[in-house]
Amino acid sequence: MNAEEKPYLPAGAKTVLVVEDESSLASTLSYNLRKNGFNVMQASDGVEGLQVARRDNPDVIVLDLMLPRMDGIEVCRRLRADSDVPIIMLTAKSEELDRVVGLEVGADDYLTKPFSMRELMARVRALLRRANVRAPADDAAQIFVGDLTLDARGRTVRRNGAEVPLKPKEFDLLFFLAKNAGQVFNREQLLENVWGYEFFGGSRTVDVHIRWLREKLEASPGSPHHLLTVRGVGYKFVR
Ligand code: CA
């Protein structure tokens, strides 16, 4: 990289990982992101994208859906097992979107090709704002509920002393409900508080995460003791 191409990077510039196999689009994306003050890393297939994401911890990932070696859906799913990094999925097919965003795969947002660079920048910035708002753990607190111990700082849940592995969003949802035990929340409130104001997924996302949590935490998921459905309204956590 010669001096003229070298971007001006303000201190604390955020890093965006672009995973895109179409080299012309990858170049355009990188050029525009750098011009807007971002540090950019690139990967041209899914396997490389996953490796770079895990090794270098980017602040945002722009992830193409159709990729060689491993598609974007699989990359996203694997990242979501242990990471909350904001992910924008690029897709050519609008019918994929329901699956891509939120629920099954865990992307935070999507853009259907073709899209404008201006739109992409707006989405990247929106995701960074949300990540910043959510980043600090709520309290240092631990919450003790029956046989469950929720630790906000370590983001862990123990049941009878044994750690229960939860995905990041499962933990966030559980912690939010437990912290506000006894209070009923509808799905929209939960989406706003746990997923963030600009989340694009549907409210079914909440139902599925509740089901997963019950399966992991309740002695009998079919008749839960902590994560209760309030018919016609939403959910509440009881101690
Ligand atoms: Ca592609």
pLDDT at 84: 84
Q: Is the pTM of this model over 0.75?
A: no
Measure 23 CA to ligand 1 centroid, in angstroms: 9
Residue 4 confidence (pLDDT): 43
Strand order in the sheet with 156-159: 142-145, 148-151, 156-159, 162-163
Determine the distance separating the centroid of ligand 1 and the alpha carbon of 122, expressed in angstroms.
22
Q: How far is the CA of 178 from the centre of ligand 1 (A)?
A: 41
138 close to 175: Cβ distance less than 8 angstroms: yes
Helices 23-35, 117-134: crossing angle, 10 deg rounding:
60
Q: Please count the residues of the chain.
A: 239
Buried b (16+ CB within 10 A) or exposed e, 154-181: eeebbeeeeebebbebbbbbbbbbbeee
Cα 118 to averaged position of ligand 1 atoms, centre (Å): 20
**Ligand 1: distance of its center to the CA of 12 in Å?**
30
* Interval between CA 4 and ligand 1 midpoint (Å): 29
pLDDT, position 98: 59
Burial class (CB in 10 A: 0-12, 13-18, 19+), 216: middle
Q: Which amino acid makes up residue 119? A: E
Closest C-alpha among 13, 16, 137 to residue 85? 16
- Taking only the tens of pLDDT, the chain with its 239 residues reads 444 444 455 556 899 999 999 999 999 999 999 999 899 999 999 999 999 999 999 999 999 999 999 999 899 989 988 788 999 999 886 666 655 665 567 788 888 888 999 999 999 998 888 776 554 444 547 788 778 888 887 888 998 889 999 988 899 999 999 888 888 999 988 988 888 756 666 778 899 999 999 999 998 999 999 999 999 899 999 88
Using one digit for the tens of pLDDT, what is the confidence trace for 172-226?
A: 999 999 888 888 999 988 988 888 756 666 778 899 999 999 999 998 999 999 9
Q: How far apart are CA 191 and CA 5, in angstroms?
A: 42
Single-letter amino acid code for the residue at 166: L
d(CA 53, ligand 1 centre) in Å:
18
Ligand 1 centroid – CA 22 distance (Å): 6
Q: How far is the CA of 2 from the centre of ligand 1 (A)?
A: 29
Q: Kindly give the distance from the C-alpha atom of residue 97 to the centroid of ligand 1, in angstroms, as a whole number.
A: 15
Write the CA distances from 44 to 51, 63, 67, 84, 209, integer angstroms: 11, 10, 8, 22, 32
